[in-house]
A and B are shown apart, each in its own frame.
Chain A
């Protein structure tokens, strides 16, 4: 199967700092893959580079057969790549419904405002926000705003959805709800890239993990293998923990 998204040797430099260092990664359609790594590993830079917010310093990014590195963010969005932000970015003075309708109208390719509103309602239903449809986006709780982000990205009719720390700030039951929703999204055939630094989340949702550390991809493979990979454990938890784990025969 042709890959959906292929990064080849992608680097991004900020002055002296190499935030991404020769990352090569391929995603196939329908996957749910986790992108993990300690803070500062380059995960958000990764998303920013793929979605066109930043240009890669070198390397190429191919999505559905077309190069998208360096394209404007709105063009990347219309090509079928959607993302959520770590710090949620709603349109605060528009209603929840209007927020989602806007996404449907532009990236989602819907022709008229009435159609966009109808599409918005179905996405809101799917994300469990139907009752809040008329509230102003700025008045929602954090969990509500995260779900709004999700609904907006779905309205953009993406083939690839990148979720950046969608669980940050949520409590345990909210996280469970979010994971259920993500599973439902994946079931629709949308490829999901989940950026997380919580191991618990990715182990249950993702079949494959890619691990970034200081800008480099240090591991990429089935979830169970990665979670036991020494290099990964060391990167996350430190050398002594890794040795302790080895010593305990885990």
Chain B
């Protein structure tokens, strides 16, 4: 408990500092990390708590972005559009969940991955509604550039906090116990009276609410979205990497992982613009091979002994 309180104080101080003194670059970075925290924490509800490897994050994100963007273009007020996008995403997730959550393992992962592609293609072809491949211009929020930057940081930060608080609440709730049972032994969970279908769909829906709103805020933030941008598969994979970095299934894991990932991403981007995606790929490979438990695996050992142990321990 104390850890969380200190962490919160530190974060609030950091955000306040940024708001007062940060330049646009730092503000952008902070907004991005808030978005990453939201996505990672939300993914963790389905992938970590429930144990279902979801690759649907991009689908919900893009759906939220377009839902909000289209609403804004049609004159809907900002707050309503953002919340509305969350609702759209949640309803879609519930329907999708009922359709594919009975699948296990690979089949579920693939099904969830493909949904984003389908949504992207539909968005591309439905030009009259969405602007198709030419993209959608999202109305500006208005105000000076600096004020806008601060506004979006606050918005994303609030979303990130809401997502994290929801995850914490969930882990202590009856639904959280149900998800934990499902993750460890789904058949046994049914036998002790858990309505597994309802629990899984609920987790999926809650997760997508935050992802959808993140997409909506993103759309207003960047003011221009197109299908291959907001439905990009990397939006599905990055939150997983963040959770892996910090520790899948834990509460703080995705949060820590989001920060670490952003740091790594900025480092790679700045040093190798050309090949940065490729380096990210290598990073992911290294992560899976050497740190399956996340950064906790590193605790308290010198890097050399740890590498040596890993090389020795690797057997089938």
Touching chains A and B, CB distance < 8 Å? yes
**A-side interface residues toward B, CB under 8 Å?**
51, 53, 72-75, 77-78, 82-83, 85, 89-94, 102-103, 105-108, 113, 152, 155-156
27 residue pairs of the A-B complex, CB under 8 angstroms, read A51-B191, A73-B191, A74-B190, A74-B193, A74-B196, A77-B190, A77-B191, A82-B191, A85-B188, A89-B185, A89-B187, A89-B188, A89-B191, A90-B188, A91-B180, A91-B181, A94-B180, A94-B181, A94-B184, A102-B181, A105-B174, A105-B177, A106-B192, A108-B193, A113-B177, A152-B192, A156-B192
Residues B185 and A106 in contact, CB atoms below 8 Å apart: no
CA distance A78 to B185 in the complex (A): 18
Q: How many residues on B have C-beta within 8 angstroms of the other chain's C-beta atoms?
A: 18
CA distance A91 to B187 in the complex (A): 10
Please give the distance in Å from A239's CB to the nearest CB on chain B: 39
> Is residue B194 within 8 Å, beta carbon to beta carbon, of the partner chain?
yes
Residues A74 and B187 in contact, CB atoms below 8 Å apart: no
CA distance A108 to B177 in the complex (A): 14
B172: which A residues are within 8 A, CB to CB? Answer: 113
Please give the distance in Å from A114's CB to the nearest CB on chain B: 11
B187: which A residues are within 8 A, CB to CB? Answer: 53, 89
> Is residue B195 within 8 Å, beta carbon to beta carbon, of the partner chain?
yes
Residues B191 and A102 in contact, CB atoms below 8 Å apart: no
- Which chain A residue has the least Cβ–Cβ distance from B174? A105
Q: Contacts A74-B190, A91-B185 given; 6 further ones with Cβ under 8 A?
A: A73-B190, A74-B192, A75-B195, A91-B180, A108-B193, A156-B193
Residues A77 and B192 in contact, CB atoms below 8 Å apart: yes
Within 8 A of A (CB), among B156-194: 172, 174, 177-178, 180-181, 184-185, 187-194
CA distance A229 to B181 in the complex (A): 45
A74: which B residues are within 8 A, CB to CB? Answer: 189-196
Instruction: Select which of A72, A93, A113, A155 is within 8 A of B184 by beta carbon.
Output: A93
Proximity bits, B4-25, A CB within 8 Å = 1, else 0: 0000000000000000000000
Instruction: Select which of B177, B192, B196 is within 8 A of A107 by beta carbon.
Output: B192
- Which chain A residue has the least Cβ–Cβ distance from B194? A106
Tell me how many residue pairs across A and B have CB atoms closer than 8 Å.
Answer: 67
Most B CB within 10 A of own CB, among A51, A83, A85, A105: A105
A82: which B residues are within 8 A, CB to CB? Answer: 191
B184: which A residues are within 8 A, CB to CB? Answer: 91-94
Residues A107 and B188 in contact, CB atoms below 8 Å apart: no
B190: which A residues are within 8 A, CB to CB? Answer: 53, 72-74, 77
Please give the distance in Å from B162's CB to the nearest CB on chain A: 23
What is the interface of chain B mostly: helix, strand, loop, or mixed?
helix
CA distance A107 to B192 in the complex (A): 5
Please give the distance in Å from B192's CB to the nearest CB on chain A: 4
CA distance A90 to B187 in the complex (A): 10
- Which chain B residue has the least Cβ–Cβ distance from A81? B191
B181: which A residues are within 8 A, CB to CB? Answer: 91, 94, 102
Residues A103 and B180 in contact, CB atoms below 8 Å apart: no
Residues A77 and B193 in contact, CB atoms below 8 Å apart: yes
CA distance A73 to B196 in the complex (A): 10
A102: which B residues are within 8 A, CB to CB? Answer: 177, 180-181, 189, 192, 194
CA distance A103 to B190 in the complex (A): 10
Please give the distance in Å from B180's CB to the nearest CB on chain A: 7
Proximity bits, B234-261, A CB within 8 Å = 1, else 0: 0000000000000000000000000000
Instruction: Select which of B174, B189, B193, B196 is within 8 A of A78 by beta carbon.
Output: B193
- Which chain B residue has the least Cβ–Cβ distance from A79? B193
Please give the distance in Å from B23's CB to the nearest CB on chain A: 46
Most A CB within 10 A of own CB, among B174, B178, B192, B195: B192
3 tightest A-B CB contacts, nearest first: A107-B193, A106-B193, A89-B188
Most B CB within 10 A of own CB, among A77, A85, A89, A107: A89
Instruction: Select which of B185, B194, B195 is within 8 A of A90 by beta carbon.
Output: B185
Residues A113 and B192 in contact, CB atoms below 8 Å apart: no
Residues B174 and A113 in contact, CB atoms below 8 Å apart: yes
B178: which A residues are within 8 A, CB to CB? Answer: 106
CA distance A51 to B191 in the complex (A): 8
Residues A91 and B196 in contact, CB atoms below 8 Å apart: no
Most B CB within 10 A of own CB, among A51, A82, A90, A91: A91
Please give the distance in Å from A154's CB to the nearest CB on chain B: 11
- Which chain A residue has the least Cβ–Cβ distance from B182? A91
Instruction: Select which of B188, B193, B195 is within 8 A of A91 by beta carbon.
Output: B188
B185: which A residues are within 8 A, CB to CB? Answer: 89-92
A91: which B residues are within 8 A, CB to CB? Answer: 180-181, 184-185, 188-189
CA distance A103 to B193 in the complex (A): 7
